Structure 1
Amino acid sequence: MTSPDRPDAANCSSCEAVCCRLMVVLQPEDAIPDHLTTYTPEGLRVMKRGEDGWCVALNSVRMNCGIYETRPNVCRRFVMNGPYCRAIREDYSRSGAAAHALHESNT
């Protein structure tokens, strides 16, 4: 079992904010200001992402959510260091390692 004391445990104050790079599909009950949202080609209302790929609500200096008190319901269900959090971080680490290996093989 992963504990917050282990170095591989997620901690929002020192994480790479991988969850803030996921597509957040908004529900009708989410009261998110329009300037923070956009629509997919399929018509789903989602949180906007900046050019860096992070959610526009993320304060990248403080590494926290700028709308935490009113964040979307799906974000509220994303539990720090929970199973989904750990799985997303593992996939992200694996894809980063794969991209690094591909870059090295092309140079």
Structure 2
Amino acid sequence: MDDTPARCDQCQACCCQLPVLVLPGDAPPEHMLDEDADGYLIMAKADDGWCVALDRERMCCSIYERRPFVCREFAMDGGDCREVRADWRRIALSLR
């Protein structure tokens, strides 16, 4: 695993491609919500699979103050972040 500390502004935003369950108490804008196959409320994805809340010019969340709990708990450079980035690198390497 890469020991370089992760910084969201220098990342491929791998986490912004993961499914994000919207929990009671979360308050993202309604136009950014979708429903999954099981009827759960989730953050919507753009046609290419990226979260609709991702500001791609700045590579950061456009609704940062209103982001769902799941996103707030996904700490920059935390264990989940490092694991997702490592998975992303493995997949990218396997496609070469």
Band of TM-score, shorter chain = over 0.9
User: Unmatched 5+ residue regions in structure 1?
Assistant: 101-107
Distance in 2, matches of 1:35 and 1:70, equals 13
Report the count of equivalent residues: 95
Measure how far apart 1:25 and its partner are: 0.6
1:42 aligned to which of 34, 38, 42: 38
- 1:81 alignment partner, SS class: coil
TM-score for the superposition, normalised by structure 1: 0.83
Aligned partner of 1:12 in structure 2 is 8
Pair 1:24-2:17 in alignment: no
Aligned partner of 1:93 in structure 2 is 89
Measure how far apart 1:99 and its partner are: 2.0
Distance in 2, matches of 1:66 and 1:79, equals 17
Distance in 1, matches of 2:75 and 2:50, equals 18
Give per-residue Cα distances to partners, 1:15-54, cap 9 Å, x unaligned: 0000111000110111122210100110011001112211
TM-score for the superposition, normalised by structure 2: 0.92
Distance in 2, matches of 1:97 and 1:52, equals 20
Aligned partner of 1:51 in structure 2 is 47
User: Unmatched 5+ residue regions in structure 2?
Assistant: none
Give per-residue Cα distances to partners, 1:80-102, cap 9 Å, x unaligned: 001110000000110111122xx
Give per-residue Cα distances to partners, 1:61-86, cap 9 Å, x unaligned: 11110000111011000110011100
User: What value does the CA root-mean-square deviation take over the aligned residues?
Assistant: 1.3
Of structures 1 and 2, the one with the larger relative CO (CA 8 A, separation 6+) is: 2
